[in-house]
Amino acid sequence: MHAQTTTTVLGIGVLTLGLAAGCMPMRPPVQSSGQVGSNDGVSLAVLRQACSQTTEPEQPGFDLVEERIELRVHNGSPAPATLHRGAFRLMAPDGSALKPLTWLAAEPLTIAAGTDSTFGLRFMARGGFACTEEMRLAVYDALELRARPVDLQAIAFLPERPL
């Protein structure tokens, strides 16, 4: 009976931690390389983000980090753009790259010509990432115009100020 109670309490603790991380307020990054743009008139900016880091004393260097990012795409081209959220990668200083864990990230989105669209991405990792270290959001082939990738640089940002 004692083992079942311990498991239940542990499960409630993990659930509470997960809900708390998802409810963290989003705010602009402490530092950012800023909006990036292409010659086609497409630009991308990190509007807000939230980073949570859970330290586990029994596993040093293996912290659980969750990063949520809100992005804005401006399509200043005369053609609709296609957005592939699953193609973004969050890069850590050690070279680690994370795929988004965003629900339905594999579904492409269309951004009409001359409009803006805001969307979110969620990433999680154990080890390699820290909320007080620079991260880079690599675009790769996440945006297309006329079935060709839009050439955009990565956006570097610092989620939180080191203490």
Q: Kindly report the pTM of this predicted structure.
A: 0.81
Half-sphere exposure of 143 (CA within 13 A, CB side): 27
Handedness of CA 110, 45, 143, 49 (dihedral sign): negative
- The dotted CATH code for 26-158 is 2.60.40.1240
Contact 144, 152 (CB under 8 A): no
Helix (H, G, I), strand (E, B) or coil at 43: strand
Count the neighbouring beta carbons within 10 Å of the beta carbon of residue 114: 12
- What is the pLDDT at residue 58? 86
Run of H or E residues at 20:
helix 2-22
Domain boundaries, the chain: 26-158
Spans in the chain with pLDDT lower than 50? 1-3, 5-21
- What is the pLDDT at residue 113? 98
Beta strand 143-145 pairing with 81-83: antiparallel
- What is the pLDDT at residue 19? 43
pLDDT per position as a tens digit, 60-89: 878 999 999 999 999 999 999 999 999 999
Q: Would you state the structure tokens that stand for residue 162, as one six-digit string?
A: 């080191």
Place of tokens 């409009």: 115
